[in-house]
């Protein structure tokens, strides 16, 4: 029971760890401080954790990583929306 509680608290903290970055990106309409490598690496890791959770039939791991994946996909969307150049500068 104690380990399930600890796992659930850890999962909750992890699930919503990207929400402040999403809020900031929406507020500033900028993603210039986000590392694309970190973003893609985290997304790959969360996908693998989800697969692992499914294989282990562990609902805490599955739910935590699906929610984390959703927040990462939102941040990836914002990364491409606000991070791609909108026009050419120079000649």
- pTM, full prediction: 0.81
- Number of structural domains found in the chain: 1
| Residue 53, domain CATH | 1.20.1280.290
Distances (CA, A) of 78 to 16, 32, 87: 16, 11, 18
User: Per-residue confidence of the chain (91 residues) as pLDDT tens digits?
Assistant: 898 889 889 889 988 999 999 999 999 999 988 898 999 999 999 999 999 999 999 998 999 999 999 999 999 999 999 987 655 444 4
Kindly state whether residue 53 falls inside one of the protein's structural domains.
yes
Tokens of 66: 């699906």
Instruction: Report whether 71 contacts 15 (CB < 8 A).
Output: yes
Kindly state whether residue 91 falls inside one of the protein's structural domains.
no
Distances (CA, A) of 2 to 8, 9, 29, 91: 10, 11, 41, 63
Kindly state whether residue 90 falls inside one of the protein's structural domains.
no
In the 8-state DSSP scheme, what is residue 1? Answer: -
Tokens of 13: 């903290």
Kindly state whether residue 89 falls inside one of the protein's structural domains.
no
Q: Which domain holds residue 22?
A: 2-83
């Amino acid at each position: 029971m104690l380990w399930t509680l600890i796992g659930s608290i850890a999962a909750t903290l992890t699930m919503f760890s990207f929400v402040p970055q999403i809020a900031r990106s929406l507020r500033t309409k900028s993603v210039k401080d986000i590392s694309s490598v970190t973003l893609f690496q985290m997304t790959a890791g969360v996908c693998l954790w989800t697969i692992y959770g499914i294989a282990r039939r562990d609902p805490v791991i599955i739910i935590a990583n699906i929610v984390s994946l959703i927040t990462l996909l939102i941040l990836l969307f914002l990364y491409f929306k606000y991070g791609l150049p909108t026009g050419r500068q120079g000649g």
